[in-house]
């Protein structure tokens, strides 16, 4: 794993709050998970010390093909066996976030915010709402109208049209001592065929989509990253 970029941003209304942005490029899932844990421990240590200054973190990356199952998920939502996983060059992990099963792979923007919600004055529901809002704003910049779906996390399209509702961004988080881990996965130029091997997020009656599919053209991935970063900084009140 090689870190490409690290930049710090200050909060607009609190000089003692900063966020470090880490672009780690394409990263093995377990390596990225361990990196998250390292940064999580740093944030928790600062919080426990009662430090006047808090440094939050935000990681962006892509993963090789991998399926992850949240702690409340059901293994039967993975529809292929170990041999079939290997045939598709994919791996499978049970992890400690909320939510059910999802897929990560090339062309998908994965974001891991590691934030002290206490320092930011946020509850968990408000935090998830803000992540959803940032994604909605980011893809709106490309002319894609998305929204929330009642009773489900993530960002969705055509929520009022039965049979056509589809997810473009999955969200699954963990919060321990009011510090967050895991995060979101936005389908940019993602190979959607990999979702055919799971019931995404446990749903059997809804499909998935990507920005590429909605716009009928591939997108500049680095440009999308910049737009999403800008909107996340905006909704959480950091100066970009």
pLDDT of the chain, 240 residues: tens digit per residue: 666 666 777 876 666 789 999 999 999 999 999 999 999 999 999 999 888 789 999 999 999 999 887 766 666 766 555 556 666 677 887 777 766 778 899 999 999 999 999 999 999 999 999 999 999 999 999 999 999 999 888 999 999 888 899 999 999 898 999 999 999 999 999 999 888 777 655 455 578 999 999 999 999 999 999 999 999 999 999 976
132 touches 172 (CB < 8 A): no
Residues 6+ apart with CB under 8 A from 197: 67, 78, 79, 80, 84, 88, 90, 103
- Tell me the DSSP string of 106-167: TTEEEEEEE-BHHHHT--HHHHHHHHHHHHHHHHHTTT---EEETTEEEEEE-TTSTTT-EE
Q: Give residue 81's pLDDT.
A: 58
Exactly one of 54, 136, 157, 201 is catalytic; which is it? 201
What is the pLDDT at residue 222?
96
User: In which domain, by residue range, is 142 found?
Assistant: 5-236
Number of structural domains (the chain) is 1
CATH value at residue 29: 3.30.930.10
Q: Is 201 a catalytic residue?
A: yes
């Amino acid at each position: 794993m090689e870190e490409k970029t690290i930049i710090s941003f200050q909060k607009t209304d609190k000089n003692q709050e900063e966020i470090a942005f880490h672009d780690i490029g394409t990263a093995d899932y377990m390596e990225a998970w361990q990196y998250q844990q390292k940064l999580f421990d740093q944030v928790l240590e600062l919080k426990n010390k009662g430090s006047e200054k808090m440094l939050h973190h935000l990681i962006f990356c892509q993963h090789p093909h991998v399926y992850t199952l949240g702690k409340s998920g059901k293994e039967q939502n993975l529809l292929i066996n170990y041999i079939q996983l290997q045939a598709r060059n994919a791996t499978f992990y049970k992890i400690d976030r909320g939510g059910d099963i999802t897929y990560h792979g090339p062309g998908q923007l994965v974001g891991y915010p590691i934030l002290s919600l206490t320092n930011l004055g946020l509850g968990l529901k408000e935090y998830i709402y803000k992540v959803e809002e940032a994604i909605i704003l980011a893809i709106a910049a490309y002319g894609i109208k998305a929204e929330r779906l009642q009773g489900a996390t993530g960002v969705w399209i055509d929520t009022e049209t039965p049979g056509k509702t589809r997810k473009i961004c999955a969200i699954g988080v963990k919060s321990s001592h009011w510090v967050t881990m895991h995060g979101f996965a936005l389908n940019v130029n993602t190979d959607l065929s990999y979702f055919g091997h799971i019931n995404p997020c446990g749903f059997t009656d809804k499909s998935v989509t990507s920005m590429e599919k909605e716009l009928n053209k591939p997108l500049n991935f680095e440009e999308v990253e910049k737009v999403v970063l800008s909107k996340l900084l905006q909704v959480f009140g950091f100066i970009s």
